Homo-oligomer: A and B are copies of this chain.
Amino acid sequence: MTVDGRATRGDATRQAVLDTALDMFAKQGYRATSVRDIAARCGITHPGLLYHFPTKEALLKAVLERRDEVDRAEADDGVVDFANLDGRALLAHLVASAAKNATKRGIVELFANLSVEATAPDHPAHQYFVERYASLRATLIRGLDALASAGVLRPGVVPATAAAHLIALMDGLQIQWLLDARTDMAGSLRSYIDTVLTEPLAGP
């Protein structure tokens, strides 16, 4: 879409490239996917693609931004603001995300692949992931602090430690699930959360 709301042909192609790139980065990883492959699946040639995204790296960044938009849109079912959920709702949201991820192998592969690749300081997505982890960690600590104040955190649980555990569990369980789809990411995460709270998390 252009700023004034009219869709052009170029924008349609741009969208198709973005969707296809997301799918292929997800299934094969960023490094293992070539610009040519993406272009071919969109019915154009690779210089055609590079007209819209000048480099492969620019395409990756656009894909990540688009992914965040989609996630935000989905979370806005009830116009919820993730960063300001109350403690229990925040933890419930993590479990729900894990359950939803189990229906999207491609997305899980993309982020599992990238979060390791992007660990290298010179990776195009390095800064994106540094910020992503820092922000998630901060949100979790805030939520756990609130739960501590409300007295529903099991004594001895340190918010910063539990936050690190939660993030590690989400990442680690994804690897186990990718290796063996019988892994219950959501259930496993929930059972950790229940050891942290004085009263189990409600819900499905």
Note all chain B residues with C-beta closer than 8 A to A119.
109, 112, 175, 178-179
Contact A183 B164 (CB under 8 A): yes
Size of A's binding interface in residues, CB under 8 A: 38
Contact B179 A165 (CB under 8 A): no
Note all chain B residues with C-beta closer than 8 A to A178.
116, 119
Q: Which stretch, A15-23, A83-91, A188-196, touches the partner chain B?
A: A188-196
- For residues 25 through 41 of chain A, which have their beta carbon under 8 Å from a beta carbon of chain B? 28-29, 31-32
Q: Which stretch, A49-57, A62-70, A73-81, A166-174, touches the partner chain B?
A: A166-174
Docked CA distance A169–B157 (Å): 16
Considering only CB atoms, which chain B residue lies closest to A119 in the complex? Answer: B178
Considering only CB atoms, which chain B residue lies closest to A29 in the complex? Answer: B117
A161 interface residue (CB < 8 Å to B): yes
* Contacts known (A32-B31, A112-B119, A119-B112); A176 close to B167, Cβ less than 8 A: yes
Shortest CB–CB separation between residue A139 and chain B, in angstroms?
15
Q: A169-B169, A172-B172 are in contact. List 12 more A-B contacts (CB 8 A).
A: A31-B32, A119-B175, A119-B179, A133-B176, A133-B180, A157-B195, A161-B188, A161-B191, A165-B169, A168-B172, A168-B175, A169-B172
**Interface set of A (CB-CB < 8 Å, partner B):** 28-29, 31-32, 109, 112-113, 115-117, 119-120, 129-130, 133, 156-158, 161, 164-165, 167-173, 175-176, 178-180, 183, 188, 191-192, 195
